[in-house]
Structure 1
Amino acid sequence: MSKTGARKALIAGSAVAFVAAAGTAEAQSTAGTTAGTTISNTAQASYTVNGTSQTAQSNTATFVVDRKVNLTVIADQPGNILVNSGQTAAYARFKVTNNTNGIQDFHLAATQAISVAVLPGTDNYDLNNFKVFVDGNNNGTYDPGVDTMTYIDELAPDANIEVFIVGDVPAAQSTGLAFVGLDVIAATGGTSGTKGAVLIPTPLNTLNQDSEIDVVFADNDNDGVGFDIARNGQGWAYAAFEVRASNVALTVTKSANVISDDVSTLNPKALPGAIVEYCLKVTNGTTGVAADNVLLSDVVPANTTYVPGTIVIGAAASVLTDCTVSGYTQNDNGTQASGPYLGAYNATTKTITATIPTLSGNATVAASFRVKIN
């Protein structure tokens, strides 16, 4: 029937119709309506014929919500994890969030075979006893004997959980970085205590079936370096265990030189009344590692008296008779003088101190002071 004919038929029968649709509604999480939810919808028509009200109802259109698989994986600590040589059960924290519209299991795979530059620095050692565990008591701390699950079980939509990569630092490792990566793989959920199978996506060229739950991967490429790719049902994150030096090859050498007496100007001798200069040279022999807050101390020996205002700290010369060339004269009372150093004399303990804030690797700083032989 043509549109014109249909309009004439309605007028002739004095029928007026109103069509309304009725369906189901459900609260949604951030991940969306839960996969497997049935959405049903019927349409209602009301009309009158010669003044008589009538109704008609359509068939029910029904489909189920498909599974939109998504997740996020992030390293859950700022910067590198600082560890010590020989440390056992060192761990890195990762946070896994289920952004899928359904309960999911997740398989976990940890690796040290990081072949691309995903973090700054150079990967130069591996951890021993390398393992991955889930935070069993949700306290954010790895607890051996408590955190024993090796996969994520029944993670609800929008929920997150901590995962630990755990290992032992080699005792011989004095410095360096160990890069680790965590691969989280979406798996079938729904049965508590059972490790679900890895999800297989429905081919995108398959027509949607109203009665079936299709699986669609919607995750992004979260690393951009090749370990992860978009829409593969996986997420990657990375961390680094950093061993920092705990000691350096620090040496201190001391010399005493008579610089004047009241008898000879050519070759002064250690006579009563002579002035003697003590020189302390401190050297950091470790390349690339600084020593901080180096404190030199020396007690003025018996039978001598400290000569006020003679503490000098600075670059050591090659000859001990002038060990603080380009040095800075210090205040005896411990207040800051010129230069980066701080010297002081304690008259009660008869102790000379020299503080060097930072002594760089392969660097030498000297401190000198003078005494008078009694």
Structure 2
Amino acid sequence: MGFKPNSFTFPPLVSSCAKAGFSKLGQKCHGQAIKNGVDFVLPVENSLIHFYACCGLVDFSRKVFVEMSLRDLVSWNSIVDGYAKVGELGIAHKLFDEMPQRNVISWNVMITGYLNSGNPGCSLKLFRRMMKMGLRGSDTTMVSVLTACGRSSRLKEGRSVHGSLIRTSLCSRLIIDTALIDMYSKCRRVGVANLVFDRTSVTNLICWNAMILGHCLHGNPEDGLNLYTKMVDTACSRDGEKSLDERQELRPDEVTFVGVLCACARRGLLVEGRNYFSQMSELFSIKPSFAHYWCMANLFAGVGQVQEALEIIRSMPVNEDVSLESLLWARLLGSCRFEGNVNLGEEIADAFN
């Protein structure tokens, strides 16, 4: 007896394609849904809108959405999210305003969309509008809002959000505490960020990185390096206080070393910077990225070794995290920065803008 797919078959299949980014396979699933006569079933249509949006094919999402005979909240949220994901915030906001009803996910989609497009001010404006309507945000809402406050250096608003989190007892969650650490650090209140970190009962690598980067980029670099050492000691210790999984979770990653190398560059710690750069690959098996090479170049230039800085920029390998074209531009910009050709550097920067 043959198996015949039905309307329950396709939503999980299409969602899996969306999660994995398998656009061609997802389109084949769409074709099979049409062939089996279930392409106009609401859950199938919603999964298709989400799938095409995740693959950046928002025109296909719109086509499915427009042809729907019945739409629900999931349909609206999916199409708004699709346009937000590709940076079409004007269309996304228009659709958001047209929604017959909204939930917290609807607001999160727009708040996060503006944040990811580099417009934290609009994210905060939407959040204020949400609060005036008496709606309560989720953890995702609060993390996005705190991130927006940090990126736009709105300390007063960040403090206000922190106060509301304390009043609603949401402040003790790791994801919220990490966002608070990041926000206070970027607003140059690293001491307050450190208080939040010290009071966090359960931490993970993301939380440690937020505090390390806070010290290294916005506070006292030595405090960041000391915290890095403490984290490595914790990860490598065998005193039984932490499980093997917990220790492995605290192994430094690429982000950790961006902060550490920036700290060395800020303080001109050439010997230490070289040692940390070696630790990345030799001790922790981390392949240096463009950001790490750029930090090292700044470190060498900062202590007067301009030729060595230029050599680092020129010898950066091409890998998956940076295209050849971007690498060539970086080398040219590096030459301008480290050789003092400010005018040419400004012309290149203007060309990018």
Query: Which range, TM-score by smaller chain?
Result: under 0.3
Which structure is higher in RCO with an 8 Å CA cutoff and minimum separation 6?
A: 1
Please give the TM-score of this superposition, normalised by the length of structure 1.
Answer: 0.19
Please give the TM-score of this superposition, normalised by the length of structure 2.
Answer: 0.20
Could you say which structure has the higher strand fraction?
Answer: 1
Could you say which structure has the higher helix fraction?
Answer: 2
